[in-house]
Protein backbone atom coordinates (compact mmCIF):
# COMPACT_ATOMS: atom_id res chain seq x y z
CA UNK A 1 0.00 0.00 0.00
CA UNK A 2 1.34 3.45 -0.85
CA UNK A 3 1.56 5.95 1.97
CA UNK A 4 -0.29 9.26 1.65
CA UNK A 5 3.00 10.98 0.96
CA UNK A 6 3.84 8.55 -1.84
CA UNK A 7 0.38 8.95 -3.27
CA UNK A 8 0.67 12.74 -3.29
CA UNK A 9 4.05 12.43 -4.96
CA UNK A 10 2.53 10.17 -7.61
CA UNK A 11 -0.28 12.67 -8.15
CA UNK A 12 2.30 15.39 -8.71
CA UNK A 13 3.57 13.45 -11.69
CA UNK A 14 0.17 12.78 -13.15
CA UNK A 15 -0.84 14.99 -16.02
CA UNK A 16 -4.14 16.76 -15.41
CA UNK A 17 -3.32 19.99 -17.23
CA UNK A 18 -1.49 21.02 -20.38
CA UNK A 19 -1.04 23.92 -22.76
CA UNK A 20 -2.09 23.70 -26.41
CA UNK A 21 -0.99 26.84 -28.25
CA UNK A 22 -2.84 29.76 -26.70
CA UNK A 23 -4.93 27.65 -24.31
CA UNK A 24 -4.44 25.84 -21.05
CA UNK A 25 -6.75 22.86 -20.59
CA UNK A 26 -7.23 21.30 -17.17
CA UNK A 27 -9.13 18.15 -16.23
CA UNK A 28 -11.34 19.06 -13.26
CA UNK A 29 -12.54 16.17 -11.14
CA UNK A 30 -16.10 16.11 -9.84
CA UNK A 31 -15.59 12.76 -8.13
CA UNK A 32 -15.09 9.07 -8.60
CA UNK A 33 -18.16 7.25 -9.91
CA UNK A 34 -19.75 4.20 -8.32
CA UNK A 35 -17.76 1.01 -9.17
CA UNK A 36 -19.73 -1.42 -11.34
CA UNK A 37 -19.49 -4.93 -12.73
CA UNK A 38 -18.11 -4.58 -16.29
CA UNK A 39 -20.50 -7.35 -17.44
CA UNK A 40 -23.42 -5.09 -16.54
CA UNK A 41 -21.95 -2.07 -18.32
CA UNK A 42 -20.65 -3.95 -21.40
CA UNK A 43 -23.18 -6.81 -21.66
CA UNK A 44 -21.90 -7.98 -25.07
CA UNK A 45 -18.30 -8.39 -23.91
CA UNK A 46 -17.59 -11.86 -22.46
CA UNK A 47 -15.69 -11.81 -19.13
CA UNK A 48 -12.58 -13.46 -20.60
CA UNK A 49 -12.29 -10.74 -23.26
CA UNK A 50 -11.32 -8.36 -20.43
CA UNK A 51 -8.27 -10.49 -19.53
CA UNK A 52 -5.67 -8.55 -21.58
CA UNK A 53 -7.00 -5.25 -20.18
CA UNK A 54 -7.71 -6.13 -16.55
CA UNK A 55 -4.64 -4.39 -15.15
CA UNK A 56 -5.26 -1.12 -17.04
CA UNK A 57 -9.06 -1.03 -17.33
CA UNK A 58 -10.45 -2.58 -14.14
CA UNK A 59 -9.83 -2.17 -10.42
CA UNK A 60 -8.01 -4.81 -8.34
CA UNK A 61 -11.41 -6.36 -7.58
CA UNK A 62 -12.39 -6.39 -11.27
CA UNK A 63 -14.74 -3.42 -11.26
CA UNK A 64 -15.22 -0.74 -13.89
CA UNK A 65 -14.69 2.49 -11.98
CA UNK A 66 -14.50 5.66 -14.06
CA UNK A 67 -14.12 9.20 -12.77
CA UNK A 68 -16.60 12.01 -13.38
CA UNK A 69 -15.02 15.26 -14.55
CA UNK A 70 -15.21 18.38 -16.64
CA UNK A 71 -12.47 20.24 -18.53
CA UNK A 72 -11.59 23.87 -18.06
CA UNK A 73 -10.23 25.83 -21.04
CA UNK A 74 -8.54 29.15 -20.38
CA UNK A 75 -6.63 31.36 -22.81
CA UNK A 76 -3.06 31.92 -21.71
CA UNK A 77 -3.40 35.58 -22.76
CA UNK A 78 -6.56 35.89 -20.63
CA UNK A 79 -8.46 37.39 -23.55
CA UNK A 80 -10.74 34.59 -24.70
CA UNK A 81 -13.75 33.27 -22.80
CA UNK A 82 -13.35 30.85 -19.90
CA UNK A 83 -14.93 27.61 -21.07
CA UNK A 84 -16.07 24.61 -19.05
CA UNK A 85 -16.71 21.40 -21.00
CA UNK A 86 -19.21 19.28 -19.04
CA UNK A 87 -20.44 19.92 -15.52
CA UNK A 88 -20.10 16.62 -13.66
CA UNK A 89 -22.69 14.79 -11.58
CA UNK A 90 -23.48 17.76 -9.35
CA UNK A 91 -24.47 18.06 -5.72
CA UNK A 92 -26.20 14.68 -5.40
CA UNK A 93 -24.57 12.50 -2.75
CA UNK A 94 -22.50 9.76 -4.37
CA UNK A 95 -23.41 6.35 -2.90
CA UNK A 96 -19.76 5.26 -3.20
CA UNK A 97 -18.04 8.24 -1.54
CA UNK A 98 -20.98 9.50 0.55
CA UNK A 99 -20.18 13.01 -0.70
CA UNK A 100 -21.52 15.38 -3.35
CA UNK A 101 -19.39 16.28 -6.36
CA UNK A 102 -16.41 18.59 -5.88
CA UNK A 103 -16.27 20.25 -9.28
CA UNK A 104 -16.98 23.75 -7.91
CA UNK A 105 -14.38 23.40 -5.15
CA UNK A 106 -11.83 22.13 -7.65
CA UNK A 107 -12.57 25.06 -9.98
CA UNK A 108 -12.11 27.52 -7.11
CA UNK A 109 -8.79 25.84 -6.30
CA UNK A 110 -7.78 26.67 -9.87
CA UNK A 111 -8.74 30.30 -9.32
CA UNK A 112 -12.07 30.08 -11.16
CA UNK A 113 -15.24 31.25 -9.40
CA UNK A 114 -18.63 30.20 -10.85
CA UNK A 115 -19.19 33.79 -12.11
CA UNK A 116 -15.96 33.59 -14.15
CA UNK A 117 -17.23 30.84 -16.47
CA UNK A 118 -18.45 32.33 -19.75
CA UNK A 119 -19.40 29.20 -21.69
CA UNK A 120 -20.41 25.71 -20.60
CA UNK A 121 -20.29 23.21 -23.45
CA UNK A 122 -22.22 19.99 -22.87
CA UNK A 123 -20.84 17.00 -24.75
CA UNK A 124 -24.19 15.26 -24.21
CA UNK A 125 -27.20 15.36 -21.93
CA UNK A 126 -26.49 12.50 -19.51
CA UNK A 127 -26.64 13.13 -15.76
CA UNK A 128 -22.88 12.87 -15.12
CA UNK A 129 -22.13 15.71 -17.59
CA UNK A 130 -24.81 18.27 -16.65
CA UNK A 131 -25.06 17.97 -12.87
CA UNK A 132 -23.81 21.43 -11.91
CA UNK A 133 -25.69 23.35 -14.66
CA UNK A 134 -28.30 24.50 -12.19
CA UNK A 135 -28.50 24.45 -8.40
CA UNK A 136 -31.86 24.24 -6.65
CA UNK A 137 -33.11 26.62 -4.02
CA UNK A 138 -36.07 24.51 -2.87
CA UNK A 139 -37.94 23.88 -6.14
CA UNK A 140 -36.44 26.90 -7.86
CA UNK A 141 -33.56 26.27 -10.28
CA UNK A 142 -30.78 28.85 -10.35
CA UNK A 143 -27.80 29.07 -12.67
CA UNK A 144 -24.68 27.73 -10.95
CA UNK A 145 -22.55 29.69 -13.42
CA UNK A 146 -24.56 32.94 -13.50
CA UNK A 147 -22.77 34.49 -16.48
CA UNK A 148 -22.44 31.40 -18.65
CA UNK A 149 -24.22 30.44 -21.83
CA UNK A 150 -24.79 26.67 -22.07
CA UNK A 151 -24.07 25.20 -25.49
CA UNK A 152 -26.29 22.15 -26.00
CA UNK A 153 -26.60 20.09 -29.19
CA UNK A 154 -30.06 20.64 -30.61
CA UNK A 155 -30.36 16.91 -31.41
CA UNK A 156 -30.04 16.06 -27.72
CA UNK A 157 -32.41 18.88 -26.78
CA UNK A 158 -35.09 17.72 -29.23
CA UNK A 159 -34.71 14.03 -28.37
CA UNK A 160 -34.82 14.38 -24.58
CA UNK A 161 -37.59 16.98 -24.71
CA UNK A 162 -39.95 14.26 -25.96
CA UNK A 163 -41.91 12.66 -23.10
CA UNK A 164 -41.28 9.14 -24.46
CA UNK A 165 -37.49 9.63 -24.09
CA UNK A 166 -37.68 10.19 -20.34
CA UNK A 167 -34.38 11.46 -18.88
CA UNK A 168 -34.92 12.93 -15.37
CA UNK A 169 -31.41 14.51 -15.20
CA UNK A 170 -32.24 16.39 -18.43
CA UNK A 171 -35.47 17.72 -16.90
CA UNK A 172 -33.58 18.72 -13.77
CA UNK A 173 -30.38 20.20 -15.21
CA UNK A 174 -30.90 21.15 -18.87
CA UNK A 175 -34.57 22.02 -19.40
CA UNK A 176 -34.51 24.94 -16.88
CA UNK A 177 -31.71 26.64 -18.86
CA UNK A 178 -34.28 27.82 -21.41
CA UNK A 179 -36.42 29.80 -18.96
CA UNK A 180 -33.27 31.05 -17.22
CA UNK A 181 -32.11 32.57 -20.52
CA UNK A 182 -28.84 30.60 -20.61
CA UNK A 183 -29.52 28.10 -23.39
CA UNK A 184 -27.77 28.13 -26.76
CA UNK A 185 -28.78 25.30 -29.07
CA UNK A 186 -26.17 24.37 -31.63
CA UNK A 187 -26.07 22.20 -34.73
CA UNK A 188 -22.93 20.70 -36.23
CA UNK A 189 -19.54 22.38 -36.02
CA UNK A 190 -19.65 25.71 -34.17
CA UNK A 191 -16.76 27.92 -33.17
CA UNK A 192 -16.68 28.74 -29.46
CA UNK A 193 -13.50 30.84 -29.52
CA UNK A 194 -10.63 31.16 -32.05
CA UNK A 195 -9.39 27.58 -32.63
CA UNK A 196 -12.02 26.00 -30.38
CA UNK A 197 -15.07 24.33 -31.86
CA UNK A 198 -17.63 21.61 -31.36
CA UNK A 199 -17.35 18.41 -33.41
CA UNK A 200 -20.45 16.21 -33.72
CA UNK A 201 -19.74 12.57 -32.85
CA UNK A 202 -23.27 11.24 -32.54
CA UNK A 203 -24.27 7.83 -31.27
CA UNK A 204 -23.66 7.76 -27.53
CA UNK A 205 -26.62 10.16 -27.54
CA UNK A 206 -28.36 11.64 -30.61
CA UNK A 207 -26.34 14.88 -30.29
CA UNK A 208 -23.09 13.73 -28.66
CA UNK A 209 -20.24 16.11 -29.52
CA UNK A 210 -16.53 16.47 -28.83
CA UNK A 211 -14.67 19.77 -28.42
CA UNK A 212 -11.63 20.45 -30.62
CA UNK A 213 -8.82 22.77 -29.59
CA UNK A 214 -6.53 23.73 -32.50
CA UNK A 215 -3.84 26.20 -31.57
CA UNK A 216 -0.14 26.75 -32.21
CA UNK A 217 0.07 23.79 -34.60
CA UNK A 218 -1.24 21.26 -32.06
CA UNK A 219 -4.72 19.75 -31.83
CA UNK A 220 -6.44 18.46 -28.72
CA UNK A 221 -9.86 16.87 -28.46
CA UNK A 222 -12.13 16.52 -25.45
CA UNK A 223 -14.00 13.31 -26.12
CA UNK A 224 -16.93 13.25 -23.68
CA UNK A 225 -18.34 9.71 -23.73
CA UNK A 226 -16.94 8.55 -27.05
CA UNK A 227 -15.37 5.75 -25.00
CA UNK A 228 -15.74 4.77 -21.34
CA UNK A 229 -12.82 2.41 -20.86
CA UNK A 230 -9.20 2.42 -21.89
CA UNK A 231 -9.90 -1.05 -23.39
CA UNK A 232 -12.17 0.53 -26.01
CA UNK A 233 -9.21 2.31 -27.61
CA UNK A 234 -8.10 -1.16 -28.71
CA UNK A 235 -11.48 -2.89 -28.77
CA UNK A 236 -13.29 -0.18 -30.70
CA UNK A 237 -16.44 -2.27 -31.25
CA UNK A 238 -17.13 -2.55 -27.52
CA UNK A 239 -20.14 -0.46 -26.49
CA UNK A 240 -21.50 0.22 -23.04
CA UNK A 241 -25.17 -0.17 -22.39
CA UNK A 242 -25.42 3.65 -22.17
CA UNK A 243 -24.84 4.09 -25.93
CA UNK A 244 -28.10 5.19 -27.55
CA UNK A 245 -27.25 3.81 -31.02
CA UNK A 246 -24.33 1.38 -30.96
CA UNK A 247 -23.80 1.29 -34.74
CA UNK A 248 -23.52 5.07 -34.75
CA UNK A 249 -21.43 5.29 -31.56
CA UNK A 250 -19.00 2.67 -32.91
CA UNK A 251 -18.64 4.55 -36.17
CA UNK A 252 -18.04 7.84 -34.35
CA UNK A 253 -15.52 6.17 -31.99
CA UNK A 254 -13.59 4.56 -34.84
CA UNK A 255 -13.51 7.72 -36.96
CA UNK A 256 -12.33 9.95 -34.14
CA UNK A 257 -9.74 7.49 -32.80
CA UNK A 258 -8.39 7.07 -36.33
CA UNK A 259 -8.07 10.84 -36.71
CA UNK A 260 -6.49 11.16 -33.27
CA UNK A 261 -3.97 8.48 -34.12
CA UNK A 262 -3.00 9.62 -37.63
CA UNK A 263 -2.99 13.34 -36.75
CA UNK A 264 -1.25 12.76 -33.39
CA UNK A 265 -3.94 14.61 -31.46
CA UNK A 266 -3.88 15.01 -27.70
CA UNK A 267 -6.96 13.26 -26.34
CA UNK A 268 -8.66 14.42 -23.14
CA UNK A 269 -11.21 11.88 -21.95
CA UNK A 270 -14.35 12.20 -19.89
CA UNK A 271 -14.04 9.08 -17.79
CA UNK A 272 -10.56 7.49 -17.75
CA UNK A 273 -8.77 7.44 -14.40
CA UNK A 274 -7.33 10.72 -13.13
CA UNK A 275 -3.65 10.85 -14.02
CA UNK A 276 -4.05 8.76 -17.17
CA UNK A 277 -7.10 10.53 -18.59
CA UNK A 278 -5.05 12.60 -21.06
CA UNK A 279 -3.08 10.76 -23.70
CA UNK A 280 -2.56 9.79 -27.31
CA UNK A 281 -3.82 6.97 -29.49
CA UNK A 282 -0.94 4.97 -30.91
CA UNK A 283 -1.66 2.57 -33.76
CA UNK A 284 0.71 -0.09 -35.05
CA UNK A 285 0.02 -3.14 -37.18
CA UNK A 286 -3.72 -2.47 -37.14
CA UNK A 287 -3.86 -2.33 -33.35
CA UNK A 288 -4.51 0.86 -31.39
CA UNK A 289 -3.49 1.52 -27.80
CA UNK A 290 -3.89 4.26 -25.22
CA UNK A 291 -0.67 5.99 -24.21
CA UNK A 292 -1.20 8.38 -21.30
CA UNK A 293 0.91 11.53 -21.45
Strand partners, 215: 218
Nearer to Zn ion, 131 or 141 (CB): 131
If residue 283 lies in a helix (H) or strand (E), which one and from where to where?
strand 278-284
Residue 225 vs 243, nearer CB to Zn ion: 225
Which of 22, 30, 86, 128 binds Zn ion (CB under 5 A)? It is 128
Distance CA 214, CA 202 (A): 21
Q: What angle do CA 120, 123, 128 make, to 5 degrees?
A: 90
Identified binder of Zn ion from the candidate list 156, 225, 235, 243, rule CB under 5 A? 225
**195/279 with CB nearer Zn ion:** 279
- Decide: 102 and 75 in contact? Cβ < 8 Å: no
Residue 30 binds Zn ion, judged by CB under 5 A: no
Count the neighbouring beta carbons within 10 Å of the beta carbon of residue 63.
13
Q: Binding segment for Zn ion among 76-84, 161-169, 221-229, 247-255 (CB under 5 A)? A: 221-229
Residue 12 neighbours by CB distance under 10 Å: 7
SS3 for 162-223, per residue?
Answer: CHHHCCHHHHHHCCHHHHCCCEEEECCCCEEECCEEEEECCCCCCCCEEEEEEECCEEEEEC
Span interacting with Zn ion, options 40-48, 122-130, 156-164, 167-175, rule CB under 5 A = 122-130
- Count residues contacting Zn ion (CB under 5 A)? 2
To Zn ion, the closest distance from the beta carbon of 196 in angstroms equals 21
Among the residue ranges 70-78, 111-119, 214-222, 225-233, the one whose residues contact Zn ion (CB under 5 A): 225-233
What's the closest the beta carbon of residue 80 comes to Zn ion, in angstroms? 26
Nearer to Zn ion, 23 or 238 (CB): 238
How near is the Cβ of 262 to Zn ion at its closest, in Å? 26
- Angstrom CA distances, 57 to 66, 110, 169, 248, 276, stand at 9, 29, 27, 23, 11
Interface with Zn ion (CB under 5 A): 128, 225
Amino acid sequence: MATDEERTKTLDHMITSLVIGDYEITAVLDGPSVPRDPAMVFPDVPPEAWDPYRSIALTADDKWHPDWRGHLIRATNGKEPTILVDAGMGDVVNEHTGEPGKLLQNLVALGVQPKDVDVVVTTHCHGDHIGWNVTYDGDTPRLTFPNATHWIASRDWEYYSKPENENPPFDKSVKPLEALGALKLITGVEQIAPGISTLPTNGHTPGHQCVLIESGGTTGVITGDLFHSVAQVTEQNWCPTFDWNTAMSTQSRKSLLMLASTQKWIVLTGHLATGSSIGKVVSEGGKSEWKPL
